[in-house]
Amino acid sequence: MPALYLQLQEQLRQWITPDDKRHLTVFAEIVAAILLSSSAALHHWLPWLVHRNCNARSHMERLSYFVNNHRITATTFYEPLLKHFLASFWGAPVELTLDTSVLWDQFCLIEVCLVWGGRSLTLSQVSGGH
């Protein structure tokens, strides 16, 4: 079991309280896999997943279940982390940007983002026609 996974699980449980505690376990595992693989592609996470006795198909099914589970929401997992993170900026100037993505050559996704450390962190989402 990667040490990063265990550290993430310990830290995340301070701020995230899902209805089903197993969701936090899987969330910590996925975040660790994203960080260790340096990729947002699900198949790149497979070597870093905790349950090594599963085959790749079983891992992909677990990831798909997590990603498509209607009880696992940004409100439960992202919002508490974002609030904690933003609290550290209280009273300091911040830089915001609009990040856009065109989806299916039909929709334009516009996200308000905080610029920090050369990255942008999504604060909200608004979509409109393209």
* Tens-place pLDDT, residues 107-122: 998 888 888 888 888 8
Which comes out higher in pLDDT, residue 33 or 1? 33
Residue 7 CB neighbour total at 10 angstroms:
12
* Model confidence band, residue 1 (pLDDT cutoffs 50, 70, 90): low
Confidence of residue 3 (pLDDT cuts 50, 70, 90): confident
Q: Is the pLDDT of residue 125 over 80?
A: no
Q: If DSSP states are collapsed to H, E and C, what string results for 49-70?
A: CCCCCCCHHHHHHHHHHHHHCC
pTM given for the model: 0.69
The residue assigned the tokens 């608004």 is 126
Rounded CA-CA distance 38/17 in Å is 26
Query: What is the pLDDT, as a whole number, of residue 124?
Result: 66
Q: Are 80 and 16 in contact (CB under 8 A)?
A: yes
Tell me which residue of 48, 40, 46, 54 sits closest to 1, measured CA to CA.
48
- Say what the pLDDT of residue 56 is: 67
16 in helix, strand or coil? coil
In this prediction, residue 127 has a pLDDT band, given cuts at 50, 70 and 90, of very low
Q: What ranges do the domains of the chain cover? A: 3-73, 93-129
Give per-residue pLDDT as tens, 24-59: 888 888 888 888 899 888 788 878 877 656 676 777
Is pLDDT above 80 for 96? yes
**Region 51-79: what's the mean pLDDT?**
78
